[in-house]
Amino acid sequence: MRKQPNSRMCFLCGLQNPVGLKLAFYEDPEAGQVRAECSVPDQFQGYPGIVHGGIVAAILDEIAGRAVMLDGGDEDLMATLRLTVRYRRPTPTETPLTAVGWVEQTSGRRARVAGEIRLPDGTVTAECECLLVPVPDEFQKRWEPEKPYWKVYE
């Protein structure tokens, strides 16, 4: 598997974000998927021992968005236009989790992608469907100064 780049301050992948999750994402080209292993600390709980639903949605949004980066697509920035999350069962804190994302369909410059969060036994706790579109020019301009820090850190 090939590691994807990280940023500095992204809540999910930013390595310098003091309150972020600092996730690492890996491409599995043969499976057509992107994966991240994580354990969400208790500080991100909603109910005791349960990951807050907003954090679950954020992880799903990121894994789905990174699926379009397979095959070197990290130069074409995309943003979420729509994210639909289905919470199947509570996602526990302090537990090894696997987030998986894949592209279901591309149409022109849009992509329909999906993702899920799995427990160690493979049980899916949450899943999503996401519609991604190219970022507006103003986003691209704001991204330019950050590009040198968007890289694979070993």
Q: What is the mean pLDDT of the chain?
A: 95
Domain ranges of the chain: 2-149
Span 2-149 CATH architecture: Roll (3.10)
Q: pLDDT per residue over 65-113, tens digit each?
A: 999 998 666 667 899 999 999 999 999 999 999 999 999 999 988 999 9
Instruction: Place 147 in a pLDDT band, splitting at 50, 70 and 90.
Output: confident
CA 118 – CA 136 distance, rounded (Å): 33
Which parts of the chain fold into alpha helices (H)?
Answer: 53-67, 137-143
Rounded distance, CA 37 to CA 14, Å? 15
- Give CA–CA dist 91/95, Å, rounded: 9
**Amino acid of residue 95:** T
Its pTM stands at 0.95
